[in-house]
Structure 1
Amino acid sequence: MSEPIKIDVWSDIACPWCFIGKRRFEGGSGLFAGAGEGRAVEVEYHSFELSPDTPVDFDGSEVDFLAGHKGIPAEQVGEMLERVTGIASSLGLNYDYDNLKHTNTVKAHELLHFAKANGKQLELAERLFSAYFEQGRHVGRIEDLADLAAEVGLDRAEALAALESSQYLEDVRADQRTAAEFGINGVPFFVIDGKYGVSGAQEAQTFAQVLEQVWTERQAVTA
């Protein structure tokens, strides 16, 4: 059996296209895996903060934040959110911007590194995205994050201690430095097999094609 194709994903929990991109990549990797024996991928998430200056407890709606932060007219923001909500819905995601709690995501990124160290990163990424976009949960406060960690089978007390001590903050910063070195200035960004970069929430078929290309190249080398 061949080694799984490594997928490094730079994303932010507060990025609506990152959750959409996650679903589309899962669709594409499923198409790829179903095309023949021995095909597999290994996914690792890396930290990227879209708005690092956001307060943990932002007083206002997502419209308020985007209108203030990006300088976009509120009416236009509403149209943007409606569009992205429709695209998410087509993938089975139920974005709820009325109840979304905008927050700083650095602690969520620290928790993803804690989860990686404990073999639960993919489960936690899914949980955080859903909690933020679909369930109106707070993903910026450490107590709330520890609760979410426990929900995917991580030790709550250990997660809380890691967040309180900022144990994984340097890992977050290292991811961000690597993103800067790669020239990544928007997310989601997928690095496939360490050599191909795919920017944005591409369609599932696009991901499947890139994976197929990497697979074909590998077979040519080992033939």
Structure 2
Amino acid sequence: MTRILRIDAWFDFICPWCLIGKRQLARALEMLADAAPEAQAQVHWHGVQLLPHMPAQGVPFAAFYRDRLGSAEAVRGRQAQVMQAAGLAGVRIDFARIALMPNTADAHRLFQLACREGSAAQAEMLLERLYAAHFVLGESLCDGAGLLAHAEAAGLPARAMLPAIQGGMRPFRNEPGFGPAPSGVPHLVFDQWLQVGGAQPAEALLAAMQMALQRGCAA
């Protein structure tokens, strides 16, 4: 008998740990398919705007992190830590190409609309494209035309997605019904009760999924 495993995943586009965590989750889902083929995982993505008061056009990336961490040396240390974890997860990140720390409000609205109006495959492709736009290509996620271009490339009609970029960069609020967003991302909730924070290894995520499935079977 098929057992549905609901996974709610909270993220922000500017968080490298969210991208790393996404790869670890994908690996854990592959492991789950081998270990429990009767389980069918359904991932629901929820955006969290970590910097809701960011200026509409963003701020210089290097200056932002230097001010946030206190020194250029601290920034280099943090980025080295991220790059090490990214390499282990098979994630490509090019900090040298990122010129802007963006306001992600419209990017989140676009993805939320894509999840509502498009297919799961289209939403997944858009999510990957927006991560790559920021972390690999160094594109601005504040650019409405660029956001629409990524939506079109994911198979979503630009006209239907247009309302998402007409928010004037007002702070993004997730859809109602899920309670307050977590204060930190990435954040995963399995079967609406088992919570896992941070970019955990695939093995830890697999263990969490198996625990959630076991509780569901016992209920």
TM-score, with structure 2 as normaliser: 0.89
- Partner in structure 2 of residue 92 of structure 1: 90
The corresponding residue for 2:191 is 193
Alignment of 1:118-157 (within 5 A): 118-119=118-119, 120-157=122-159
Distance 2:112 2:172 in 1: 10
1:90 to partner: Cα distance: 2.2
1:104 alignment partner in structure 2: 103
Cα distance in 1 between the residues matched to 2:107 and 2:13: 7
Aligned residues: 214
SS of the aligned residue for 2:101 comes to coil
Q: RMSD value over aligned CA atoms?
A: 2.2
Match of 2:160 among 152, 158, 161: 158
Aligned partner of residue 137 in structure 2, secondary structure? coil
Find the aligned partners of 2:7 and 2:155 in 1 and give their Cα distance.
24
CA shift, 1:172, in A, is: 2.7
Q: Secondary structure at the match of 1:10?
A: strand
Q: Give the conservation status (yes or no) of the 8 Å contact 2:52–2:171.
A: no
Cα distance 1:122–1:175, how it changes in 2: closer, same or farther (>3 A)?
Answer: farther
Identity over the aligned pairs, expressed in percent? Answer: 28
5 Å matches for 1:162-173?
162-164=164-166, 172=174
| Closer/same/farther in 2, CA of residues 89 and 194 from structure 1, 3 Å limit | same
Question: Secondary structure in 1 aligned to 2:13?
Answer: coil
Uncovered stretches (5+) of structure 1, i.e. residues with no partner: none
2:172 and 2:74 map into 1 onto residues whose CA distance is 37
Q: Deviations over 1:159-209 (max 9, x none)?
A: 12332257x977536489621xxxx21100101100111000001000000
Query: Distance in 2 between the 1:58 and 1:22 partners?
Result: 24
Superposition pairs of residues 72-87 of structure 1, within 5 angstroms: 72-87=70-85
Shift of residue 103 of structure 1?
0.5
Gaps of at least 5 residues in structure 2 are: none
